[in-house]
A = this chain, B = another copy of it.
């Protein structure tokens, strides 16, 4: 990617995986060192036109699983679980916002459940006027996967990945950067299979062919693991927006990729 493409009008959407900023083997376990390092990398990159979306990791997923929030409202006892899931997401978001602002990054959290409703789990209405206005003024809007209102199911879980894809298409983003906890997209789960092979570049067509071969994620993730993530981004890829998957746990990678430098990872493109 050429640095010249990163003009002021161009938009990058950076997804930070829940498994990057939390320890998914524990409950409510934030990786504050990673959060602070990533905030510093965003500051250092200093690019214009950036939206950050983060996942839930060990903050959102355990409550969401326990109360089956993704399946919709079926009994009253789930309600406190919805409240809890959303609240824990705001707590994780608060840790990231705290660090971004501490690093002098003009970031503003935008609460997904306050401006998005879904229908059968798919984004139906997205009041994006605040996000657009924040971007135009030079702020960095920060959204996150959340427990949201669903017009048919009562409520459900909306993944950060679906938010990324929706925002990318509606705001005509230049690129999507997926900060994950592995080096890129593999033909099998690299955490399980030693022989897993990483793709440097893959097209949406090849991705669909790969789909059935991708393994389930290793840890609890109600929004799906790498399979769900990648499939969720297909609408954006087919819209012509490249996705760059990089290891956000490797220091400097996010800063470099935001700054337009080439780093190790997987690029997903239309053709």
Contacts and interface: CB of A to CB of B under 8 A. Distances in A.
Interface residues on A, range: 35 or more
A137 interface: yes
A46 interface: no
Given A90-B94, A94-B90, A109-B90, A83 B139 contact: yes
Interface stretch (A33-41, A99-107, A204-212): A99-107
A87 B115 contact: no
A206 to B, nearest CB: 37
Nearest to A141: B114
Contacts of A82: 106, 108, 139
Contacts of A109: 86-87, 90, 111, 114
Contact of A149 (B76, B98, B130): B130
A117 interface: yes
Would you list the 3 A-B pairs with minimal beta carbon distance, nearest first? A111-B111, A114-B114, A127-B127
21 contacts: A76-B138, A80-B106, A82-B139, A83-B97, A83-B100, A86-B108, A87-B101, A87-B109, A90-B90, A90-B93, A90-B97, A90-B109, A109-B114, A110-B113, A110-B114, A115-B115, A115-B127, A115-B130, A117-B129, A133-B149, A137-B155
